[in-house]
Amino acid sequence: LWDHMDAILSLGVTDLVDHLLDESHRQGPEANRLRPTPGESKFGKALDRVQKRDLLLLAACYDNSTGAPFTTRWRRLRHTIGYTGWTAWAEAALGLVVLAVVLGVMFYTGNAASWLSRPWVYLVAGFAWLPWLYKWARQRARAGRIARNLRVLRRDPGSIRELLASFAANDLLNQPLPDKARTDDRYELLAKLQGVLRALGVTGVLVLVDRVDEPHLINGKTELVRDLIWPMLDNKFLKQPGVGFKLLLPAELADHAHREDRDFHQRARLDKQNMVPSLDWTGQALWDLTNDRIAACAAEGQTPKLRDLISDDVSDERLLDALRALRTPRHLFKFLFRLISNHCAAHTDSDPAWKISRETFESVLAVYTREQAAVDRGLSVG
């Protein structure tokens, strides 16, 4: 489950950073574009210091843009939102100051050789650097754990350590990081992302899961789709405040869900998830959708309709019944493509027919519905 949460955080954070940096190559619809809170002219003014820290922490772990190195984007983001963390270099400053004092005393007294022969000089200089060395080793170990446990992203431990070193020590105290194979930290990080989004005027997050059977590693195998999706069927995960999930899954998974044990159903609580067995459209909705598609392809000033393509022998009621039997836009447009292709193949340019006859309509519909019934029963591949 934490891998799924990491993927969600990565998609959300990357898109958020793209918008804040006003990247020209950003993906996603314009409706997702963020705008400052009303009354604020800059994103930085819409965020307080804690939210700026949270945003930079999320970007250090989850920004996954291919347009530029994430370390470069992180520094640009820090400048854009106005985050300052001068105390992050306090340990290094201490070491430099003590070293400068020791060297200054040596050259001021004019007896450098005598000073260099005294062991305590080296001890003082070495102890002054111990806090920095401790911080460096701790951040290196933490960066290594983050890189190992972020399995959905490629992260270089050195780059993560470099960014963690830019935070003040107090800003990282008791903060969740994805450095363990568990969901607790991810829930907190997701809550931080929601807090930043709310400050920027975004009140909710929608996660859409679709086409899960198409990746080449899954290749349509229901068992592999099940293994991918089952961790997400967790009631706590699906019922998070401010986050909505829409999972468009193959119908074959319903049989697997019914065969699962009691522990699965207690964790998933499918009775609370508003499951819809099949996304069937009404005939009227498919009729309107078809007319919209035809209008989009029409010449300027023309408004053709589906009714204009079908012979008057096919009544409106019969046409609606046929569309209702097709159930989904995918089947509808596959049927219409086959119908128009068969009609065009049956006539010549010298003797055209501008309307599809009832015989062609009924024969193509009968063949298509028979093939689709075989697919639904698992006897064929659609």
* 339 and 222 part of one domain: no
Q: Which domain holds residue 95?
A: 1-202
The mean of the pLDDT values for the chain is: 82
Tell whether the model's pLDDT for residue 286 goes beyond 90.
yes
Identify whether 381 is part of a domain.
Answer: no
Q: Are 234 and 267 in contact (CB under 8 A)?
A: yes
Number of domain units in the chain: 3
Tell whether the model's pLDDT for residue 213 goes beyond 80.
yes
Tell whether the model's pLDDT for residue 341 goes beyond 90.
yes
Predicted pLDDT of residue 187: 92
Q: Provide long-range contacts, Cβ within 8 A and 24+ apart, for 156-163.
A: 159/69, 159/70, 159/71, 160/60, 160/61, 161/136, 162/71, 163/56, 163/60, 163/71, 163/74
Predicted pLDDT of residue 364: 92
Cα distance between residue 267 and residue 279, in whole Å:
25
Identify whether 336 is part of a domain.
Answer: yes
- Give the tens place of pLDDT for each residue, 220-241: 788 898 889 998 998 989 888 8
What pLDDT band is residue 24 in, cutting at 50, 70 and 90? low
Q: Are 151 and 3 in contact (CB under 8 A)?
A: yes
* 30 and 143 part of one domain: yes
Identify whether 334 is part of a domain.
Answer: yes
Q: Which of 277, 306, 322 is a domain's end point? A: 277
Only one residue has tokens 């306090």, namely 90
* 49 and 171 part of one domain: yes
* 196 and 52 part of one domain: yes
Identify whether 382 is part of a domain.
Answer: no
Tallying the residues shown for the chain, one arrives at 382
Short-list 288, 367, 278, 298, CA closest to 320: 288
* 228 and 166 part of one domain: no
- Give the tens place of pLDDT for each residue, 32-74: 565 544 444 466 677 888 888 889 999 988 988 877 788 888 8
Q: Which of 233, 253, 277 is a domain's end point? A: 277
What pLDDT band is residue 5 in, cutting at 50, 70 and 90? very high
Q: Are 47 and 199 in contact (CB under 8 A)?
A: yes
Name 353's Cβ contacts closer than 8 Å, sequence gap at least 6. Answer: 343, 346, 347
Q: Which of 277, 297, 328 is a domain's end point? A: 277
* 159 and 11 part of one domain: yes
What pLDDT band is residue 27 in, cutting at 50, 70 and 90? low
Identify whether 326 is part of a domain.
Answer: yes
Which whole number is the average pLDDT over 303-327?
A: 90
Short-list 96, 121, 93, CA closest to 106: 121
